[in-house]
Amino acid sequence: MEKTVARIALFAALIAALGLVPQIVLPFAGGVPITAQTLGVMLAGLMLGPWRGAGAVLVFMAVVAMGAPLLAGGRGGLGVFAGPTVGFFVGWPVAAAVIGLVNRAMRHQAPLLGGIAASMLGGIVVLYIFGIIGLAMITQMDLVAATVAVLIFIPGDILKAVIAAFIAREVRRARPDLVD
């Protein structure tokens, strides 16, 4: 139990640390910035599994909701639930869970390809569904316009999926006891 709590806290802290990487705000993306924090969400799902990965994200979200400025750009507090990134933020635990579930299902495939597929399905497809809906609701864009606005993020998120899968594979090789 202590090991599980420590791992969840470690990944919540990793997501927070990735918030220190400067965000890039694109004016045509509806106020949604490019951040490194989705890499942490992908790693949590791949390395902790679906439920612990989602748990780590929920711990992080709770700390942010209490006002800690841990999101990229120093954002925190309940106001993040009223901004254009709300859908992405709310979708993070679901994305981590899907990544963990898909990764488990593909465990007998090539670990790198399975990790990439899991990260892309959960960290891009599932997460973008939440993000697009949230962006459309907050900005009053229609769903097509919101979808077009976030397409610019796909190449970077594919890169994050590859990086997360590579890290998870290497950690699994070196310390299989640390990966779910």
Kindly state the average pLDDT of the residues 10-30: 86
Q: What is the pLDDT of residue 28?
A: 67
Nearest Cα to Cα of residue 114 among 56, 51, 61, 46: 46
pLDDT tens per residue across span 103-161: 999 988 888 999 999 999 999 999 999 999 999 999 999 999 999 999 999 999 999 99
pLDDT tens per residue across span 31-83: 788 899 999 999 999 999 999 999 999 999 999 999 999 999 899 999 999 99
| pTM of the predicted model as reported, rounded to 2 decimal places | 0.93
Q: Which residue has the higher pLDDT, 156 or 3?
A: 156
Q: How far apart are CA 9 and CA 79, in angstroms?
A: 24
99-113 as b/e: b if 16+ CB within 10 A:
bbbbbeebeeeebee
Q: Which residue has the higher pLDDT, 84 or 34?
A: 84
Res 30 pLDDT > 80? no
Place of tokens 């507090």: 77
Contacts of 84 (CB under 8 A, 6+ apart): 30, 31, 32, 134, 135, 138, 139
Q: What is the pLDDT of residue 34?
A: 83
Place of tokens 């490019």: 34
Q: Cβ(45)–Cβ(99) under 8 Å?
A: yes
What is the domain extent for residue 134? 2-178
Q: Which two tokens stand for residue 158?
A: 């594919």
The count of structural domains within the chain is 1
Window from 2-6, 83-87, 114-118 with minimum mean pLDDT: 2-6
How many C-beta atoms lie closer than 10 Å to residue 178's C-beta? 13
Kindly state the average pLDDT of the residues 88-100: 97
Q: Cβ(112)–Cβ(166) under 8 Å?
A: yes
Write phi, then psi, for 24 (nearest 5 degrees). Answer: -120, 115
The CATH number of the domain holding residue 107 is: 1.10.1760.20
β-strand partners of 63: none
How many C-beta atoms lie closer than 10 Å to residue 90's C-beta? 17
Q: What is the pLDDT of residue 23?
A: 78
Q: What is the dihedral of CA 36, 10, 180, 155, to 10 degrees?
A: 0
Q: How many Cα atoms sit within 13 Å of 59 on the Cβ side?
A: 20
